[in-house]
Chain A
C-alpha cells in the first residue's frame, strides 16, 4: 500500500510538470487556435538553457533560473515574430505543420550544442527525504509541486483580474470584437507565446533537478496531449487537473500492470490508451467549453 502511495506522490510531482506544460499549450491554443507540437521541445530548450548557465557558466542556481526565464521570454517573442506571425491567415493545418518543423529544429539545435548524453544538474536542495504522513518524500518533489501550484494560482488571478488577462480571454472568444475594444491581437499572440515558453522552461528546470535531462525530453510534449484532452483544450483548470491525473495514472497503471499481469512498460502507453477512451466519451474534455445556447 505504502508503495502505491509513493507512486501516487511521484505521479503528482511529474503530473504537476505535465500541468505546467499543458498550461502553456492551452494558453497558445486558447489565444491563437494553434496546436503547438513544439511544446515539449520548449521544455527541453528551457532545461538546457538553465543547465548551460548553472553547470557550464557556473552561475548560482537562483540567478541561472531567473536568467532562463528572461531567455525564454525572448525566445517566445522571437518564435512568435519570426515563425508564427508570418503564418497568420494561413490554413490552420499549415501552422500546425510549422510547429512540428519547429520542434525538429529545436531538438537538432540542442543535440548540436550538447549532444545526446544525459546531463545532470548540480544538487540544489538537500537529498535527505522529509517524512510526510509516514512517507519519505524528497524535498525536490515538494519544491516542484509547490512551484507548479504557485504558478497556477498566479495565472488564475492573472486571467481573472488583470486587464491583459481579461483581454486574452476576450481575444480567445472573439478576435474581431476584442480588436474593436482596442486590444492588439498581435501583442496578445506574442504574450501567449511568452507565457507558454516561460512555463515550459520552468517545467524543464524542475525535471532537470529531479531526473537530469537529455535530448529526448521533448517526448514529454506528447504526454501533455492526454492531459489537455482530458481537461478540455481551452481550460486552465483542465490543464492542471489533467496533468496531475495523467501523472498519477501513468505510475499507478505501470505498477498495477506489473503486479497483476506481469507486464512492464505500461507507463508509456497508459496515458494514450486513456486518451482514446476520453475522446470516445467526452471529446471536449472535463472542463472544456460547451457553446452557450440560450433557449
Chain B
C-alpha cells in the first residue's frame, strides 16, 4: 500500500529555474522511506512540493501529480494539506524561538481539537523527556539537538499520517544523530506514522529506512530496498564514502566521480 505517490513532478522557481524534472517516488503506508542526494539535487523542493510550502518561495508545480491515498493534493494551500495529515519538519528546525517549548508544541496542534492537546503534549514528552524539563523555557535558548527534538515533537502534535523530515541530522553531533534517528524509528513503529526522510547522512538514513530513493539534478536515479542500496557499489562509493576496494580516494578520483555522476544523471 502506497500512502504517498509522486508522479512525474516538475517544479519551476521564479518561472525560470527548473528544479524537479519529472520526479516520481512513493512512500509505503507505515514505512520509513529515505530520499538521498547531494546538495542542490532538489530534495527539499520535493518535500515542499508535497506539503504545499513552495507557495511562499515563488515555486510552482508545473506538471505531474502528488497523490495522497490516491487523491491529488498538488496545488492545495499548505494549511489544507496539513489538515489531510501531511506534516513537514523543515530543514534547520525552524522552531519559534521566542515562544516557550510548550507553546511551540501547542502551535503544532493548531489543526487539532483542543481536547487532544494535553495528551498530545504528554506523548511528546514520552518520546523526548528532555523537552519536559524545559517546558517553560524559551525555545531559542535550547541546544541544536533539543531544538530538533522540539521540531519533531511539534510535528507529532498534529497527528500526521505522513511525516516529511528534512535533514533532521543537520548540525548535530554523531551520538545525537543516532539518538534522534532511533526516536524517529520508534515513532514510526509505535504510532504507525509513514515517514519520508530526506538526508545527507545516507548511512544513518538507510539504517532505519526500508526503502530508499537517490536523486540527482531533479530526478530519481536509483531506488531500491535500503539493504540493497547499502551494498550497492555506486552508492557506497558516492554516498557512503567507501571506495570500491575500501582504500582512501585520491584527488585523481574526483574526475572519476564526475564521470560517474554524469552517468548517474
Residue numbers of A with Cβ under 8 A of B are 163, 166-167, 169-170, 173-184, 289, 292, 294
Contacts and interface: CB of A to CB of B under 8 A. Distances in A.
A177 B110 contact: no
Contacts of B78: 179-180, 182
A193 to B, nearest CB: 19
Nearest to A180: B88
B173 to A, nearest CB: 15
A183 to B, nearest CB: 5
Contacts of B111: 181-182
B108 to A, nearest CB: 6
B53 A176 contact: yes
Contacts, number: 78
Contacts of B98: 169, 173, 289, 292
Q: In the A-B complex, list the 8 residue pairs whose CB atoms are closest, starting with the nearest.
A: A182-B82, A292-B140, A182-B111, A177-B94, A184-B79, A173-B96, A182-B79, A170-B96
Nearest to B58: A89
A181 B140 contact: no
B106 interface: yes
Interface of B: 51, 53, 55-57, 77-79, 82-83, 87-90, 94-99, 103-104, 106-108, 110-111, 114, 138, 140-141, 143, 154, 158
Contact of A173 (B77, B99, B106, B141): B99
Given A167-B107, A184-B77, 10 more contacts: A166-B106, A169-B98, A170-B107, A174-B94, A179-B53, A182-B110, A183-B79, A183-B107, A292-B138, A294-B143
A179 B78 CA distance: 6
Contacts of A184: 77, 79
A154 to B, nearest CB: 19
Contact of B99 (A169, A179, A183): A169
Interface SS of chain A: helix
Contacts of B79: 179, 182-184
Nearest to B95: A177
Given A166-B99, A169-B99, A292-B97, A180 B53 contact: yes
Contact of A166 (B53, B90, B107): B107
Given A170-B96, A173-B99, A292-B138, A181 B108 contact: yes
A108 B154 CA distance: 49
A294 B53 contact: no
Contacts of B107: 166-167, 170, 178, 181, 183
A182 B155 CA distance: 11
Contact of B158 (A169, A175, A177, A181): A181
Contacts of A182: 78-79, 82-83, 110-111, 158
